């Protein structure tokens, strides 16, 4: 194996790792943005537009991206929806008598 081939394989490994981590962060950020916009939007037309845009992005990534990158994006989006999309627990304050 040539030295340049070894360096090339190492660089490819790093680029795939950075793509994986970058799309996980992108999925986390866009997932938070979508959840936040859906909660604040009052008109149903806006909610439908946000949802269709988000679904279209996922479809486009399925066609034009690698499976590992799409998986990282899905993990980031899923974490964002679970963290910020779930209803908050209401704390019950004990009445002091």
pLDDT tens column, 40-83: 988 999 999 999 999 999 899 889 888 888 899 999 999 998 98
State the alpha helices, DSSP H only, in the chain: 3-40, 44-64, 67-84
pLDDT of residue 8: 94
pLDDT band at 7 (very low <50, low <70, confident <90, very high): very high
pLDDT of residue 96: 61
Q: How far apart are the first and last CA of the chain?
A: 80
Structure-token pair, residue 52: 């269709």
How many C-beta neighbours within 10 Å does residue 35 have? 19
Stretch 20-33: mean pLDDT: 92
Q: CA-CA distance, 32 to 95, in Å (whole number)?
A: 36
Q: Give the predicted TM-score (pTM) of the model.
A: 0.75
């Amino acid at each position: 194996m040539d030295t340049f081939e070894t360096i090339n394989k190492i660089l490819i490994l790093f680029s795939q790792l950075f793509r994986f981590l970058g799309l996980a962060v992108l999925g986390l950020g866009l997932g938070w943005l979508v959840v936040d916009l859906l909660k604040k939007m009052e008109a149903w037309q806006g909610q439908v537009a946000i949802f269709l845009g988000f679904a279209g992005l996922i479809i486009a990534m399925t066609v034009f991206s690698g499976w590992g990158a799409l998986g990282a994006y899905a993990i980031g989006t899923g974490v964002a929806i679970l963290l910020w999309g779930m209803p908050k627990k209401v704390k019950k304050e004990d009445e002091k008598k």
